[in-house]
């Protein structure tokens, strides 16, 4: 696998987190939406829970903290450069909704099976929250 192989837009199919204690969590539910795009300019990822609630207590800056927290919990986005090393895709995070990701690396084991790209990563190793995150993406045809 190399940069050219994964260039393009990939729509999200599924995201699950398999905890070492046996739990399986779907962070954005079963009908999530979004995409990841790889290009000469870098990568951009956005995933959202569909049917997100609109703010009722104000706008994007003046809504209640509870409503802003719910919006944060139902949306993920980050962008930056990327590298491909064998079966590992490394996202070099430059911008993110999560401040702690900025300047860091997100390493994903990648498996390409036809038009489906599976990305997995181990998270919080050595803690009670240790898990494997599994995301599946389908390539978007150039005409779409």
C-beta of residue 80 within 8 angstroms of C-beta of residue 42:
yes
Give the tokens for residue 23.
């739990």
pLDDT tens-digit readout, 72-121: 999 999 999 999 999 999 999 999 999 999 999 999 999 999 999 999 99
pTM, 2 dp: 0.90
Kindly state whether residue 122 falls inside one of the protein's structural domains: yes
Kindly state whether residue 144 falls inside one of the protein's structural domains: no
Kindly state whether residue 128 falls inside one of the protein's structural domains: yes
Kindly state whether residue 83 falls inside one of the protein's structural domains: yes
Residue 122 to residue 108: CA distance in whole angstroms: 9
Kindly state whether residue 86 falls inside one of the protein's structural domains: yes
Helix runs in the chain, H state only: 3-6, 65-73
Domain that holds residue 94: 3-139
Candidates 71, 82, 144; CA nearest to 119 is: 82
What domain count does the chain have?
1
């Amino acid at each position: 696998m190399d940069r050219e192989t994964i260039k393009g837009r990939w729509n999200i199919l599924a995201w699950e987190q398999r905890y070492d204690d046996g739990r399986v969590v779907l962070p954005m539910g079963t009908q999530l939406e979004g995409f990841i795009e790889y290009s000469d300019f870098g990568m951009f990822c956005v995933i959202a829970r569909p049917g997100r609630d609109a703010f009722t207590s104000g706008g994007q800056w003046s809504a209640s903290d509870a409503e802003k927290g719910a919006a944060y919990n139902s949306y993920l986005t980050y962008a930056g450069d990327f590298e491909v090393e064998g079966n590992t895709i490394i996202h070099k995070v430059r911008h993110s909704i999560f401040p702690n990701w900025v300047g860091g690396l997100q390493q994903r084991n990648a498996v390409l099976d036809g038009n489906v790209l599976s990305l997995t990563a181990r998270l919080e190793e050595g803690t009670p929250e240790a898990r494997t995150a599994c995301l599946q993406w389908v390539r978007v045809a150039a005409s779409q």
